[in-house]
C-alpha cells in the first residue's frame, strides 16, 4: 500500500519553469504534447503549427528542440501529456485561469453556446 509523502521541497520557480516552458512560443505549456522519440514537450497549437506550417512537407521531420529524427507523420504519434499539464496548472494557476477567461470572452463575443466543462 502506497503512503503519501508529506515532505516539503523548496525549488526556485525559475528552475521549474524552464521544464514547463514551450521552446516554440517561450510561454508556459498549454495542452502539453510530448514527442515520444525524445520526450520534449510543446504546446499543442505550437507543435501542430510547427509541423503543418513551418516545416517543409517534403523534408524529413525532426524535433524542433533537439533535432532528433522523427517518424514521417509525427503529429500522429504525439502524446497528450496530462501529467506535465497538471504540474503547469498547479504551479502556475494564473495561466489556466486566464485561458478560461479568454475562452469565455470568445464564446460571448461570437454568441456561441458555451461548451460543457
Q: What is the pLDDT of residue 63?
A: 97
C-alpha cell at 58: 517534403
Kindly list the averaged pLDDT for each block of 10 residues, start to end, along the chain of length 117: 77 85 95 97 97 89 96 94 94 86 84 71
Q: Which residues of 26-35 are buried (b: 16+ CB within 10 A; e: fewer)?
A: eebbbbbbbb
Q: What is the pLDDT of residue 115?
A: 65
Q: What is the pLDDT of residue 79?
A: 97
CATH, domain range 22-109: 3.30.40.10
Domain borders along the chain are 22-109
Amino acid at each position: 500500500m502506497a503512503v503519501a509523502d508529506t515532505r516539503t521541497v523548496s525549488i526556485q520557480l525559475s528552475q521549474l519553469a524552464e521544464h514547463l516552458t514551450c521552446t516554440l512560443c517561450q510561454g508556459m505549456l498549454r495542452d502539453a504534447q510530448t514527442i515520444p522519440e525524445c520526450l520534449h514537450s510543446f504546446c499543442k497549437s505550437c507543435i501542430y503549427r510547427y509541423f503543418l506550417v513551418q516545416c517543409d512537407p517534403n523534408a524529413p521531420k525532426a524535433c524542433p528542440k533537439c533535432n532528433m529524427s522523427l517518424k514521417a507523420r509525427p503529429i500522429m504519434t504525439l502524446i497528450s501529456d496530462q501529467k506535465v499539464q497538471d504540474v503547469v496548472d498547479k504551479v502556475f494557476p494564473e495561466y489556466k485561469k486566464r485561458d478560461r477567461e479568454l475562452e469565455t470572452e470568445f464564446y460571448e463575443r461570437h454568441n456561441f453556446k458555451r461548451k460543457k466543462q
